[in-house]
Structure 1
Amino acid sequence: MLTTQELQEAGRSYYRVDRFGTDRDRPDVDTATTDTAAVDDLDRDVYCVLGIPIDAIGMRGVLRRIRDAARRKTRLLISTPNLNFLVASQSDRSFRDSLILSDLCTVDGMPVVWIARLIGIPIKSRTAGADIFDALKADIGSASTLKLFLFGGPEGGAERAAHRLNSQPGGLHCVGWSNPGYCSAEEMSRDHIIEEINASGADFLVASLSSQKGQSWLQRNHQRLEIPVRAHLGAALNFQAGTVKRAPPILRRLGLEWLWRIKEEPYLWRRYWNDGTAMLRLLFTHVLPFVFWTWWMRRTHERGEALTITQDYGSRTVTLSLSGPADARHVDRAIPVFRAATASRKRVTLDFSNVCAIDARFLGLLLMLRKQLEAQGCAGTFVGVSPLMARIFRMGGLDLP
C-alpha cells in the first residue's frame, strides 16, 4: 500500500517504453520522461487469469497511461478486477467480455494478487481503483490538472465528493457530477444523461455503480462517451465523499480490507461470503491444476529450447505453426508475428502441434490476439492442441473456438 509521499512521487513519475511501445513498470528500471506512442493490446504485459486479462503494471505505469490518454484525447477504458469481478466473470460472459474489451486491467483485490503470484505473474501489490484516484489527487505538482466527472454513487455522494475535491489543491478538479438514481444500465444511457456528461469537457469519467452494472454501462456507451479516460472505481467515490471510511493501511496490506468493509457496510457480508467460497472452489478446480500442469509441461523440455513460428500466408488464411515452449520468455518473438497476421485482416489459424509448454503470459497474449481479430471481424482458430494442452487452456480460462 502506498503512502501519501509515494502517491505523490508516483503521480510525477513515468514509465519506460521499449521498442514495441510497451510500458514495463519494473522497480529496477530507471524511468525517464518520454513522449509515449499509443499502446495497443499486443503491447500490453498482460496475463490470463481464469479467463480475464491482468496487466502486470504498477502505479507509475497506470498514471502515465491515464495522463497520456487525457492529453491525446484517446479512449482508455480501465477496469480494476477484484475477487468479485473474478467470480462474476466465471458465470456472466458479457461481464467477462467487458474486462477483455478494456484497455487496461489492474489488480484491485488482494485475493487476485495471491492467485496471480501462485500462477507466477510478477505482481507485487494491488493497484486498486481507490489508490489510482488518490495518486491522481495527490499529484499537486502536475503540469495540468485532470478534469473529473463523477457518475453514480449514493444520493448526494457525488456532489459531496466533488465539493471536497475542489476545496483543496490537487491533481484532480471535478467539473461535473450526475446521479441517475436506482435504474438499469439502459435507463442510465438516455441521451440527456450522455449529453450532460460529454458537455462537461472532462478528461476522466469515474463511475460508481455495482460492478456488473458499471461495466455494462461503460461498454454500452463506449462509442457515445467523449471523455477519453473512463473507469468504474466503485467505492472510491464513497471514500472521497466521506460516506464510507476506508480501511487502515495495515489491514489493506494484510488483505483484510473486507473485514473493515463489513464493519462499515454490514450488508456486504453475504457478497464476501459467496465470493470467498467461490474462490476456494476455483482454487482447487482451476488454479492449482493450472499451476501443476504448466509446471509439468515446462519440466519436459530443455531450458535452451526456443520458440519458432512458421508463417504461411494463403489467399484467405494465415497459418502460424508454433514449435517449442510458448511462454513468457518468448512473447517478444511472437508479438511481431501476431501483429503482422492481424494486419493482414485474414482468418488466423494457430497450429499448436509442436508446442511443448505454455504459461499464463502466453495465454494472455493469445487472449489479446483473439480480441484484435474479433474487432476486425476476423476469426482465430487453434488446431493441433493436445488433450493436456486443451486442459491447460480450460483451467486458464481461455476457451478454444
Structure 2
Amino acid sequence: MLTTQELQEAGRSYYRTGRSGAGRDRSEVEAPRAEVAVPDDLSRDVYCVLGIPIDAIGMRGVLHRIRDAARRKTRLLISTPNLNFLVASQSNRSFRESLILSDLCTVDGMPVVWIARLIGIPIKSRTAGADIFEALKSDVGSAHSLGVFLFGGPEGAAERAAGTLNRLDGGLRCVGWSNPGYCSAEELSRDHIIEEINASGADFLVASLSSLKGQSWLQRNHQRLQIPVRAHLGAALNFQAGTVKRAPPILRKLGFEWLWRIKEEPYLWRRYWNDGTAMLRLLLTHVLPFVLWTWWMRRTHERGEALTITQDYGSRAVTLSLSGPADARHVHRAVPVFRTAAASHKRIVLDLSNVCAIDARFLGLLLMLRKQLEAQGCVATFVGVSPLMARIFRFGGLELQ
C-alpha cells in the first residue's frame, strides 16, 4: 500500500498549470488572471460522503467521459466506491487518498446510494463497475469499439472473459489479458508486466484485484501506464468469464445483491457482516448527526440569503472570506473564485467566520479544491470555524487540518 505522500506525489501529475504570477499587494481588490486555464476537478458535481468524493453522474455521463478520454488519449482514473470502499476508507488513509485522487467516483453499491439519498445527494441509482463494463460492451452503435486489457482475476478468468468479448459484436474488444497470479502490488508493478500492458495499445484497462491492492496498484503505476482509461472493476471480470453468476436485476435494484454474492461465493459472508455492522455504526455516529446539524443550520437562517466571497490577494497567500450559506445552490458562485485562486499557486486561507450553513455539495467542492492545491504543492487552511461548523466537518469526513 502506498503512503499518503506517495499518493499525493502521483496526484501532482494529474494537472497542467500555468506559471505562478508575482504576488500582489493586499490592498489590491482584483484577483490576478490565470495565465493558463487550469484543468481541475472543480467542475465536477462532487459530494463529500464520509470523507470520500461521490460524483452525481449517471451512466450516460460516465460513458461520455470514458469515450472522450479514450479519443483524446487523456488519463481518466475511475473508482467505483461501494460499502466496502466506504468502510475501508475510514481506517485506511492511503486508500481514502486513492479515491480522492481519482478523476471520477461513481456509486457501486445500494447502501452507498441510501446514505447519499439520506444526506440529500441527487443520486437515483447506482452506477456499478459491472454495469459500466456491460454498457460499454452493449454499445453496438458506437463508431469505434474500445480496446480493453483485462488484468488480474482468478486463474483462467481473464482468458475466458477475453474469448467471450471477442466472440461478440459489441462496443468492447479485448486486445490483451494478463494474470500474473497472487502477489503484492509491488510485484505486480514489475517492468515486464507494465510493458506488456502498454504494448497492447488498449483504450481501457480493467483491473480485477482486491479493492485495496487494485487501488494501490493503479496509483503506483499511474505514470508508467499508457492506457488512457483505467479502473478497478473487481467482479466485472468474473461476471464476463462466467465464473461467477451475477444477481438478477430485481435483487440488485432492491439492494440484496450481497445475499446472491454470498450464495455464489460463500467466503464473502464475513466481509459483508463486517461492512454491514460498520455501516450501522457510521449511520449512528456520522451520517445521521451530519443530516441533523446541516438541516438545523438551514432552518435557522434565511433561505433567500446569497453567498458572497471577498478575495484578498497577498504576496504569499490568498484569503477568501465566505459569508452566507455555502451550499449546493451557491456552488456556481464559488467555483470561478476557487479556480482563479488556485491558479495563483499560493496558499489559500478560507475564512468561514460568517458562513451560516454548509452541505455535502460544498464540502465536496472544498475536497476538490484541497486536492487540486496539494497536486500543485500548495495547501488550504480554514479559519474562523465555529464549534458547530467543526462538528459538521467531522461528521462529513472532511479534515480541517
Report the secondary structure of 1:292's partner residue. helix
The C-alpha deviation readout for 1:205-248, integer Å capped at 9, x for no partner, is 00000000000000000011000000000000000000000000
Supply the AA of the counterpart residue of 2:292: F
Q: What is the distance in 1 between the residues matched to 2:391 and 2:333?
A: 25
Displacement of 1:58: 0.0
1:297 aligned partner: 297
* Structure 1 partner of 2:135: 135
Question: What is the CA–CA distance in structure 1 between the aligned matches of 2:269 and 2:337, rounded to whole Å?
Answer: 48
Q: Counterpart of 1:92 in structure 2: which amino acid?
A: N
Aligned counterparts, 1:170-189, within 5 A? 170-189=170-189
1:104/1:38 CA distance change after superposition, 3 Å: farther
**Corresponding residue number in structure 1 for 2:3:** none
Partner of 1:265: 265
Task: Name the residue aligned to 1:335.
Answer: 335
- Cα distance in 1 between the residues matched to 2:239 and 2:118: 31
Partner of 1:61: 61
Amino acid at match of 1:364: G
- In the alignment, which residue of structure 2 is the partner of 1:45? 45
Correspondence 1:38-117 to 2 at 5 A: 40-117=40-117
Give the Cα–Cα distance (whole angstroms) in 1 for the partners of residues 250 and 389 of structure 2.
41
Aligned to 1:16: none
Determine the structure 2 residue equivalent to 1:241: 241
2:215 alignment counterpart: 215
**2:162 alignment partner, SS class:** helix
SS in 1 for 2:226: coil
Please state if 1:353 is matched with 2:360: no
Distance 1:257 1:376 in 2: 41
The superposition leaves residues 348-384 of structure 1 with CA deviations (integer Å, 9 ceiling, x where unpaired) of 0000000000000000000000000000000110000
Structure 1 residues not aligned, in runs of 5+: 1-36
SS of aligned partner of 2:231:
strand
Distance in 2 (alpha carbons) for counterparts of 1:347 and 1:38: 16
CA contact 2:38–2:339 (8 Å) conserved in 1: no
* Cα displacement (A) at 1:296: 0.5
When normalised by structure 1's length, the TM-score is: 0.90
Q: Which amino acid aligns with 2:286?
A: H
Matching of residues 24-43 of structure 1 within 5 Å = 40-43=40-43
Q: Distance in 1 between matches of 2:137 and 2:394?
A: 41
Gaps of 5+ in 2: 1-36
Deviation per residue, 1:106-138 (Å, 9 max, x gap)? 000000000000000000000000000000000
- Code of the residue aligned with 2:278 in structure 1: it is A
Change in CA separation of 1:382 and 1:128 when aligned onto 2, cut-off 3 Å: same
Aligned match of 2:385: 385
Question: How far, CA to CA, are the matches of 2:400 and 2:333 in structure 1?
Answer: 23
Shift of 1:39: 6.6
User: What is the aligned partner in structure 1 of residue 316 from structure 2?
Assistant: 316
Letter of the structure 2 residue corresponding to residue 162 of structure 1: A
Alpha-carbon RMSD: 0.9
Could you tell me how far 1:38 is from its partner in structure 2? 10
Aligned to 2:31: none
Q: How does 1:279-294 map to 2 (within 5 A)?
A: 279-294=279-294
Q: Displaced runs of 4+ in structure 1, greater than 4 A?
A: none
Residue 40 of structure 1 deviates from its aligned partner by 3.0
> Given that residues 207 and 232 in structure 2 are in contact (C-alpha distance below 8 angstroms), is that contact kept between their aligned partners in structure 1?
yes
Could you tell me whether the CA contact under 8 Å between 2:47 and 2:56 is conserved in 1?
Answer: yes
Q: What is residue 363 of structure 1 aligned with on the other side? A: 363
- Using the alignment, how far apart are the partners of 2:130 and 2:139 within structure 1? 14
CA distance in 2, matches of 1:71, 1:135: 18
